[in-house]
Chains A and B, each alone.
Chain A
Amino acid sequence: MKILVTLALGLAALPSLAAEYAGFLPGKSQVDFVSTQMNVPVNGRFGKFDGQIRFDPAKPAEGQARLEVVLASIETGLDEANAEVAGADWFDVAKHPKAIFESTAVESLGNQMFRIQGKLTIRGTTQPVTTEARFTEQGGAGIFAGSFKMNRKDFGVGQGIWGDTSVVANEVEIRYQLAAPAH
């Protein structure tokens, strides 16, 4: 009897413990970046992206994430800069409309932190990236929030006169928040 009660209580508690998150919530997600112009950090963001997340905090190694960012949706703060970075020297959105991130491995670092490795493709160039993210659960959504730094020139972003990194730095920081609904 006692065992049964314990079991019943345990089962009742289970769903919240073993919550799995799958899908994507664009409204609760955000993809921002910080570039550096002559020592000055300049913030921007991407307005349109879509993704697919499958994650169970209890089994992080099985977690998967894919993100597709519509590069033409960039908001730098200046219309003229938005048009410039969509052009051939930068993202060349006519030929490469999207940046794609695909995870290859997820591991727990403890304390709700996870290390996510993956492949990032921009302008037809694929490079490995690693990022650390904090995972939180709120209001029926699982949210990864983290950042990583990348070199734009590794992807051929910013060519020609923009190849000189003394004005616009090579390093760009990506800050993201990606949410998926509880399943």
Chain B
Amino acid sequence: MQTPQHTRYDGVAILLHWLVALIIIGNFALGLYMHELKLTPWKLQLYSWHKWAGVTVFLLAALRILWRLTHRPPALPDTMPEWQKAVAHGGHHLLYMLMFAVPVTGWLMSSALGVQTVYFGLLPIPDLLGKNKELGEALKVVHEFCNFGMAAIVFGHAAAALKHHYKDHDGILSRMAPWVR
């Protein structure tokens, strides 16, 4: 029998996974919603919150990467075909990249549109780009593209987790969600 560390992710990895997942899904929905609103103080308020949540995702993702590099996850079971393992690893790599790409493109877009990001209204994040409307509009498209790419991969990722749980019964979901039997 394997030790628990080898059959499931450790507590920190699990906490970070679900915390980041929650904020990302919520902030994605918030982004879609606020985008449709007409300009009101409420909308500006939401934009600030959206940006703060994005900065939080960036920081937590950095923490996750550090933790991941120093804490190996359990190996995927040998019942999984090689191609599935490759797809899982590739998908996870893409998700890690997008966890950075999404907030970074949002931050750059915001700088180019001339609205600095000030974390919780207190900590100004330096503007890497000067004000430039065309660049800002272009970065908006990149930010949206990264977001829809991420949404598609997260959808596939969650569908795979459910397939492992309900069809394969190989305990993959419980490795990240130990409360699920």
**A interface with B by C-beta (< 8 Å):** 37-44, 76-78, 80-81, 84, 161-162, 164, 166-168
Contacts and interface: CB of A to CB of B under 8 A. Distances in A.
Contacts of B115: 37, 40, 42, 77
B40 A161 contact: yes
Contacts of A78: 113
Contacts of B124: 40
Nearest to A162: B41
Contact of B131 (A77, A80, A161, A167): A77
Contacts of B118: 38-40
B121 A39 contact: yes
Contacts of B54: none
Contacts of B45: 38, 167
A43 B130 CA distance: 11
B44 A168 contact: yes
Interface residues of B, number: 20
Contacts, number: 48
B44 A39 contact: no
Contacts of A40: 48, 115-118, 121, 124
B39 interface: yes
Most buried by A among B42, B131, B136: B131
Nearest to A40: B118
Most buried by B among A38, A42, A78: A38
B122 interface: yes
Contact of B121 (A38, A162, A168): A38
A162 B48 CA distance: 16
Nearest to A84: B39
A167 B114 contact: no
A141 B26 CA distance: 56
Interface of B: 38-42, 44-45, 48, 113-118, 121-122, 124, 131, 133, 136
Nearest to A41: B116
B41 A77 contact: no
A47 to B, nearest CB: 12
**3 closest cross-chain pairs (CB), A and B:** A77-B114, A167-B41, A39-B121
B135 to A, nearest CB: 12
A62 to B, nearest CB: 39
Given A77-B115, A162-B41, A167-B45, 12 more contacts: A37-B44, A38-B44, A38-B118, A38-B121, A39-B122, A40-B117, A42-B114, A77-B131, A77-B133, A78-B113, A80-B39, A166-B41
B114 A164 contact: no
Contacts of A168: 41, 44
27 contacts: A37-B44, A37-B48, A37-B115, A38-B118, A38-B121, A39-B122, A40-B48, A40-B115, A40-B116, A40-B117, A41-B116, A42-B114, A42-B116, A43-B114, A44-B114, A76-B114, A77-B113, A77-B133, A77-B136, A80-B39, A81-B39, A84-B39, A166-B41, A167-B41, A167-B44, A167-B45, A168-B44
B48 A38 contact: yes
Given A39-B121, A77-B133, A164 B39 contact: no
Nearest to A164: B41
